[in-house]
Amino acid sequence: MLALRKQVAVAHGEVPRRAPDTNAAAAAAFEQVPVAMAVLDAMGGFIGANRAFRRLASCSATELRAMSFLALTHSDDAGRYMEAFGDVAAGRRPSAAFRMQIGRAHV
């Protein structure tokens, strides 16, 4: 179990510290993890992608936000992904996760 405290007692000249911002820590971890990951909205638009994903896709964060995941999806996988996104959009499932074959961007 991990517990965070808001303040650390001052002892032996230590400087008081504040608890880390967990959102910032999570964002930094997402960015630095060596596994390519992206977060998509219910329509398949990119909300965010970590450095490993951007490198694999050869796209900047700005370029990804301007495209649908279908632009990078291998044609063999498109139908399966669209079905899952339709389920998310219709409320039949709360989310979907994929291992994705990246094809060439079609923008």
Predicted pLDDT at 18: 61
| Structure-token pair, residue 29 | 């971890």
Measure the N-to-C terminal CA separation of the chain; round to a whole number of Å: 46
**Over pLDDT 90: what percentage of the chain?**
23
Question: Which residue has better confidence, 16 or 50?
Answer: 50
Beta strands in the chain (DSSP E): 38-40, 46-49
pLDDT band at 31 (very low <50, low <70, confident <90, very high): very high
Going by the DSSP 8-state scheme, the letter that residue 5 receives in this structure is -
pLDDT band at 81 (very low <50, low <70, confident <90, very high): confident
pTM confidence score = 0.68
Predicted pLDDT at 1: 26
Q: Is the pLDDT of residue 106 over 80?
A: no
